[in-house]
Structure 1
């Protein structure tokens, strides 16, 4: 049991919470909610002893252990198996199979177990930290967004694991369905105070609405009574016969006190800018194929039709090609085989990580919205900024000082400013809190056009998806039905098959040596390509910045009579555009070569018998 009493925390003039109290009893699994910046992660740090509270007490029983998911990476062993097994304690110190089951559940293969932990992407390294945490069997698990780097299959495994976990849990996640499937209680920080109830997040938010409604009604009655008393005192205090009564009413006013107005909370609120189209079929895809390795395409023989007003969701494990498919459909990557037939009046709006990375760091929020359409009026731009929670001076903040979540909202703002009838959305909920995700879902549902969506959120799939493209069984397959129908009729192969069996071998030395040699050789060959890609990307950004400056100069010159300068700038911009196009071709070619080489070595590594 943990007992927190009268805890408060301030950062300068900003108050995060004061005073808050709660008790965590045996078996409690708490979903912890609140807006970004409300203090959830800070409370975790206080419970872990990494941050000091300004006041209050925390009572933790003796021998009660608290474990938290770490975002920083620090590995000391040469293989995934050994690194995770190092976290085993007590009687389980040799129970390596327990570690393997966790690794399989979180998306690692049998071949991955003997790989160097540092050879994996950042997301998979966070998964290793999660395995190490779960292996320690702490009394209390503090989990801050554990699903951020998980695909849908791994999320379903973790959900089951946490439901069966014998200790206590406090869970922060933007995925409401995941939270409600795991937790017994919901706790939230709001307006610097804390409330905890038994039940799921829907019950918690309903309680908040009831409390606010009751508060506003009480305040309205009190304000009305105050106004009546003030009016009586004002009218009667000059009359001698009423003076005593007026004084009595005045004292009553003093004792009555006032109720503060409820603090307004910013909400993400918007609707997409629908461009009318007569199309009934927005996209007809036939026999689509793409792959960086011609012999092992990411997807092939893929055909489907997307009707106006429908939502198509692309789902599957990480690294299988979901974002690549979305980029092919959006024209970001060139189609290698097959056909994509769009209605002539189809207009795109694309939200993806590549788009967010292209935000100009020197621009402010308003500048980025204006770049979509320079003819947008200041009123319209301010309205879009306000809908994305950048009201007033916030809209003048530069992109380079914004958080990842704020940059995602800027990109959503740019999409809102774009007239479109087809949305491409790649993990749009990353960095958004529950309130913002709810608003996004409502905006997609009310959008008259069509949507192609990549997501790992089962809540979004259930609310939005009319059809699916599923990456499974080593292929991409179109499924004409919703997500629940897919689970009922087909389901995830990883959940229907048993986990990979342990492979026992007396001698791993030769395979390990060969594996290490290949990894070293791969690194040696990929390193120059990586440098060329980085140099090319830097040159592109520099040229785009120069072109922006010249465009601004061209606009300024157009109002004057300097014809020679206009011609010079126009000629330079035309040459720059040609150079930029060549740079993008070079950038794509380098990427293709890099990925093909990487995959070739991956194939060799997989063929090595442990």
Structure 2
């Protein structure tokens, strides 16, 4: 459906990628990986025609519709539902169930549907844009970091949606677990080249590592061969007996591919600076409550933090996870309850709002040094270097940095601090997969305790031994790992999954007893017959879509897909009558 042939793109004399070639096959879901700054988002912009390219060719069928997730917010309607429905034509104005179904899956309540979209947080506004994209029923979705703004429950919904999506997807996300759960292929930008393989990220990175080992061994062998040949040339160049062979060897050397030694790719090097705490427990929280209005955001929160604990704080967005850290760090005053701290507590707090407290006119080194004046400039520069601010970059002012770079400065400040308790609020949002792996290793090696708000399931699985779970009815403490929580308790059902479960249960119901009135029984049988007929037609449409995909007939795919959506909606309506 989409094909790139020998596409090259440069910025300011730097080549992002060179002679990139790949094709997106029917039904493929591709995970696009690569370090920050390697050109993943630029590749999306080239495919959509937003960004020009230097050379090559991009081939997309005229009738092939591509949907993208817009990170820029521009709303023109007064309710969430109306804003979402604006993505469709006026002929759909009464079919708001289309938007409502998607909004419910992404964590919006029935009451939210009529609220002003401008009244929601940035993360929820991005979700509204995602709904607008999905409503247009594109043949292909290009999703750039959709997971950054979704909580774990919404991620489960998006995972299910993508698995059942009748089309193609290219997905950029640094959440390895999420990517591996939905993709059929992995494609990566590495050293200016693009590679696509069938399978998950582990297979891709293993292949990448093996290729670099082979390359380096080949380069070393070639260097030895060239040296051996040049020794012969130097020895026999002026000799009548060996001159022709020496000349032949020189020509052979010239034809050899120039194999440069691969540059080492810099990694974020996390190493938290620990100061001991003599007590077994470093913090105790009892019956804590807080609210911005008369109603509590959370209440009755009770747990203890041992000096080497790794506690994950998880749950839906808007329930108070980040606020809890702000209350525990005394940035907000609790409404009721107690917070006991060990006298030796030394706290390092990475928060989303803390980034705004960086001083715009300070340099990176000045920001890092102000949290620990005992550090000399050499050590400060070294910490800046571990956050990938090397050389003169460490003297840049905060005001010129991107959001991701400011987040790295905040992490650098925490590395400079002497701490025995870390609060990390969504630390993975601006990190690539390799940096997230490094962060996980550093948390495990840290001798202090850590409370971490994250929806990254890889990080939860690799680091956490206890959980604070924010659910519909408040927050609860769980003694165990994330996988143990999923096994023993699990996430509560969303309204959408409840409806689906209800439909399945109704299908399994035995026939009504004789006590059921004949009228009701007749009506029930009639509805079931209609559902059965629609389900048969559902299968016909699904087969039609598969055949059209194989034939590359995008018009037929769009037509059948639209019809299938209407059939699904009608089945939902009939199920409600049972």
Under TM normalisation by the shorter chain, which class is it? 0.7 to 0.9
- How far residue 238 of structure 1 moved from its aligned partner, in angstroms, is 5.3
- How far residue 82 of structure 1 moved from its aligned partner, in angstroms, is 2.4
Partner residue, 1:519: none
- How far residue 333 of structure 1 moved from its aligned partner, in angstroms, is 2.1
Determine if the alignment matches structure 1 residue 108 to structure 2 residue 114: no
> 2 CA distance for matches of 1:287 and 1:119?
30
Q: TM-score, normalised by structure 1?
A: 0.78
Partner residue, 2:412: 413
Comparing 24-33 with 266-275, greater Cα deviation is found at 266-275
- How far residue 76 of structure 1 moved from its aligned partner, in angstroms, is 3.4
- How far residue 93 of structure 1 moved from its aligned partner, in angstroms, is 6.5
Partner residue, 2:72: 72
> 1 CA distance for matches of 2:89 and 2:21?
33
> 2 CA distance for matches of 1:142 and 1:90?
25
Partner residue, 2:510: none
- How far residue 310 of structure 1 moved from its aligned partner, in angstroms, is 1.7
SS in 2 for 1:372: coil
> 1 CA distance for matches of 2:261 and 2:425?
39
Structure 2 stretches lacking a partner, 5+ long: 501-578
> 2 CA distance for matches of 1:30 and 1:373?
45
SS in 1 for 2:404: helix
Partner residue, 2:147: 147
- How far residue 447 of structure 1 moved from its aligned partner, in angstroms, is 0.9
> 2 CA distance for matches of 1:358 and 1:75?
29
- How far residue 254 of structure 1 moved from its aligned partner, in angstroms, is 2.7
> 2 CA distance for matches of 1:274 and 1:268?
18
SS in 2 for 1:485: helix
Paired residues for 1:255-274 under 5 Å: 255-274=255-274
> 1 CA distance for matches of 2:303 and 2:256?
68
Comparing 107-116 with 245-254, greater Cα deviation is found at 245-254
- How far residue 166 of structure 1 moved from its aligned partner, in angstroms, is 0.8
Paired residues for 1:81-160 under 5 Å: 81-88=81-88, 94-160=94-160
Partner residue, 1:568: none
Determine if the alignment matches structure 1 residue 187 to structure 2 residue 187: yes
Paired residues for 1:20-419 under 5 Å: 20-88=20-88, 94-237=94-237, 241-293=241-293, 295-419=294-418
Comparing 55-64 with 401-410, greater Cα deviation is found at 55-64
Could you say if the C-alpha distance between residues 158 and 208 of structure 1 is closer, same or farther in structure 2, counting changes exceeding 3 Å? same
CA contact (8 A) 1:299 1:321 kept: yes
CA contact (8 A) 2:313 2:321 kept: yes
- What do the CA deviations read for 1:278-328 (whole angstroms, capped 9, x no partner)? 2222222222222234x5222222221222222111111111111111112
> 1 CA distance for matches of 2:59 and 2:93?
30
- How far residue 117 of structure 1 moved from its aligned partner, in angstroms, is 2.2
- What do the CA deviations read for 1:184-233 (whole angstroms, capped 9, x no partner)? 11111111111110111111111110110110000011111112222333
Comparing 235-244 with 95-104, greater Cα deviation is found at 235-244
> 2 CA distance for matches of 1:426 and 1:418?
17
Comparing 406-415 with 271-280, greater Cα deviation is found at 271-280
Partner residue, 1:543: none
- How far residue 500 of structure 1 moved from its aligned partner, in angstroms, is 8.0
Partner residue, 1:454: 453
CA contact (8 A) 1:423 1:451 kept: yes
SS in 2 for 1:353: coil
Could you say if the C-alpha distance between residues 266 and 303 of structure 1 is closer, same or farther in structure 2, counting changes exceeding 3 Å? same
CA contact (8 A) 2:104 2:495 kept: no
Could you say if the C-alpha distance between residues 292 and 2 of structure 1 is closer, same or farther in structure 2, counting changes exceeding 3 Å? closer
SS in 2 for 1:109: coil
Could you say if the C-alpha distance between residues 256 and 74 of structure 1 is closer, same or farther in structure 2, counting changes exceeding 3 Å? closer
- What do the CA deviations read for 1:66-116 (whole angstroms, capped 9, x no partner)? 111112233333322222223346996653223211111111111111222
Could you say if the C-alpha distance between residues 134 and 324 of structure 1 is closer, same or farther in structure 2, counting changes exceeding 3 Å? same
RMSD: 2.1
SS in 2 for 1:487: helix
- How far residue 417 of structure 1 moved from its aligned partner, in angstroms, is 0.7
> 1 CA distance for matches of 2:172 and 2:414?
28
CA contact (8 A) 2:70 2:129 kept: yes
- How far residue 239 of structure 1 moved from its aligned partner, in angstroms, is 5.1
CA contact (8 A) 1:280 1:307 kept: yes
Partner residue, 1:522: none
- How far residue 402 of structure 1 moved from its aligned partner, in angstroms, is 0.7
Structure 1 stretches lacking a partner, 5+ long: 502-610
Could you say if the C-alpha distance between residues 288 and 296 of structure 1 is closer, same or farther in structure 2, counting changes exceeding 3 Å? same
Partner residue, 1:579: none
CA contact (8 A) 1:101 1:499 kept: no
Q: TM-score, normalised by structure 2?
A: 0.82
How many pairs are equivalent?
Answer: 500
CA contact (8 A) 2:272 2:446 kept: yes
Paired residues for 1:535-550 under 5 Å: none
> 2 CA distance for matches of 1:175 and 1:378?
35
Could you say if the C-alpha distance between residues 117 and 450 of structure 1 is closer, same or farther in structure 2, counting changes exceeding 3 Å? same
> 1 CA distance for matches of 2:257 and 2:176?
39
Could you say if the C-alpha distance between residues 90 and 462 of structure 1 is closer, same or farther in structure 2, counting changes exceeding 3 Å? farther
CA contact (8 A) 1:287 1:301 kept: yes
> 2 CA distance for matches of 1:96 and 1:498?
19
- How far residue 257 of structure 1 moved from its aligned partner, in angstroms, is 4.2
- What do the CA deviations read for 1:369-401 (whole angstroms, capped 9, x no partner)? 111222312221121111111111111111111
> 2 CA distance for matches of 1:291 and 1:49?
46
> 1 CA distance for matches of 2:158 and 2:249?
63
- How far residue 49 of structure 1 moved from its aligned partner, in angstroms, is 1.4
> 2 CA distance for matches of 1:131 and 1:256?
54
- How far residue 411 of structure 1 moved from its aligned partner, in angstroms, is 0.7
SS in 2 for 1:340: strand
CA contact (8 A) 1:110 1:500 kept: no
SS in 1 for 2:148: coil
- What do the CA deviations read for 1:504-542 (whole angstroms, capped 9, x no partner)? xxxxxxxxxxxxxxxxxxxxxxxxxxxxxxxxxxxxxxx
